[in-house]
Amino acid sequence: MPLESKFSEVAENRLYSLAYNKSIREHKLMASRCKKCGYLSIPPKPVCPKCHGSEIDVVEMKGGGKIAAYTVVAVGAPLMVEEGYGREKHYCCGVVELEEGVKVCARILGVDVSKPEQIKVGTPVKMDFVETFHAADPTHEEGERTFLAFTVLEKP
Ligand SMILES: [Zn+2]
């Protein structure tokens, strides 16, 4: 691949990720859908990861899904530590399979993190958002940030 098209691909990916972050701030979850094969990607991608087609629609997800995998974290990522999570305050994150069939990683809310064995794969969840304040880092200014999350609809 020539260097210029590699640069334009990186630039296009960057535009897609900026647009994705903006949609999360507006409490919308967007996916790209390949016009050729129908493959869905979150975050949206300018090129289909399955068939490499570049004719893409960006579509909004309804927000329903189920837990496909999860973990309860005691030694958190720096952003989570900044929010007060850690050895004394665990959190759950996981993979949610949306009703549209695409999977996405996010925080899982409404579960008892002190009893991880009671969290069940297949539990229905609905899209939610977490608004928190964070200090500046190399990619963000200090301020409110919005994160994708899912809340459990029914206790197992
Ligand atoms: Zn495709």
Summarize pLDDT for 41-60 with one digit per residue, the tens: 999 999 999 999 999 999 99
Cα(142) to centroid(ligand 1), Å:
38
73 and 128 housed in the same domain: yes
103 and 146 housed in the same domain: yes
Cα(38) to centroid(ligand 1), Å:
6
Cα(60) to centroid(ligand 1), Å:
18
Cα(147) to centroid(ligand 1), Å:
28
Q: pLDDT digit string (tens) for 73-82?
A: 999 888 899 9
**Structural domain containing residue 102:** 64-152
Mean pLDDT of the region 18-36: 93
Cα(40) to centroid(ligand 1), Å:
8
45 and 76 housed in the same domain: no
SS3 per residue for the chain: CCHHHHHHHHHHHHHHHHHHHHHHHCCCCEEEEECCCCCEECCCCCCCCCCCCCCEEEEECCCEEEEEEEEEECCCCHHHHHCCCCCCCCEEEEEEEECCCCEEEEEEECCCCCCHHHCCCCCEEEEEEEEEEECCECCECCEEEEEEEEEECCCC
The answer to whether residue 8 scores a pLDDT higher than 90 is no
At 101, which CATH number? Answer: 2.40.50
Mean pLDDT of the chain: 91
pLDDT at 6: 67
Cα(10) to centroid(ligand 1), Å:
19
